A and B are shown apart, each in its own frame.
Chain A
């Protein structure tokens, strides 16, 4: 445990985000679109709740047998001509990707969306080693141009307005001879399609993420809507899949159960435009496809979660429903979290990856409203897991000392009901006085965080317990 790590600057980021009107507009658009879309899709599928139960069961089964299923995955992947690289740490994974790229003589690499690649800081690493990574998912392409991290796991540029995107394209696409500024989304998409088309064709290596790995066939499954993932993994000579180890499912049928939940939860679609099951490299008789198929299995802290109180987070399928429905995410957006994984699932996963000292605010900046858990297709008990992080922080000293002592002092009093009741009687009288005839308090020492934006309603003046017992004694006696 490091007692020197500072928590990420969540509060300052949040303050900035709250003042950003464009961000507020963008996030409002997100919730007003994606929330009813999911609700509609769920209402249209009577079996949805039963599927959530099945999905949880089959994933839990895999997690407690993960070693076995990873071995089976490897066997079957190798049998279909793929190569499997086991990477315990982020550094191992970066090294392997670089080795594969160097062996392929790669100058440019196309990438489709991969949160693992974000976790590895892969783009910066490749650039530092003289290889140009090109994001092809439109949202990732946009944030790459803006030199920003993605702010949402399925809609990376959700925080950007079309004016901001128009400006980005105008500035960066001039070098391709595209001097006319486009402003409408349709034209912007067409321009991105045009610019990226040649990059797809030129790339030497294509790197994709994987939504699932199927043990029985050694396949990877990729769920997208744009087609960039498929172009990324079909055109280059070498295809690299980066997946964390908990992505494994046992069979095609098990993957199908989860696929029935994924798009409905993410965007309200019944199925994504492109769901691709990739098994090995090009067969000798194939007309196209890459010559090499590599799968990078990344641990980077997942195995430590197995068997722990946080194991349930490994069921996450990265649909984004939790953050789409989270009022905290809605307020501050993804960048405020300062971590790769944001929103409620990030509040649980990020401290596991970066440590609770640095990730302290993430599980704390929650009102435990429970909407995340209510929409999670895999029934992950997110608030409970955030509470476990708070317990770890409390016990380890990561939580601020002043808060801990105040709480313990309060609890000490609460364990003594007569004393607590006396304290309540005192507070009731005092605050009632301060409230005066208006019945509320506008400013109160030590309550600045409340009274900065809210009146504090004054108590009635005597506590319930004292009045109850006085009145009941009077009527009994």
Chain B
């Protein structure tokens, strides 16, 4: 069989049917596919957290009193005021991320840089706050009881996601400097924003389940 008729190469304007409009349609369709794929990835990530949340609630349901008793003493509850402060830091970073994306869409690169940097700083602040909380939570450590197991595993997984998110945003920021995106082609920034909001939403659930419930 001959392949001559179908070999267009990679399609960088090397044929009459590869004009700008064609490239644009390819971009749009590819973006739609990537967006769907990314959302599906987030869905499967939700299941990962849900499974551990189920485990936490199940284990919590096996004992009468919460927090559990370790070595004859009932463990204390977690430090709510500090967690509230740290939550505000994380939710604030969601707001700044939203502003970063909106400013990018409107071509205000200076303000985009400001908000992007702000988001990353807040993300790092949240991680530091979590480190502080880990060192002060007197709940018997990771392997002490089902409280420690659930708390450190779930918030640790969330912290790992925040850490990846900070790295991801830093890479995206660097990519904007390298000219990967323009005012209408910014799929990476959309994905980064979605991911960052996802991390926020997971924290809402964890905050309620560990500090309020």
The finding on whether chains A and B are genuine partners in a shared complex, rather than unrelated, reads no
State the B residues within 8 Å of A (CB): none
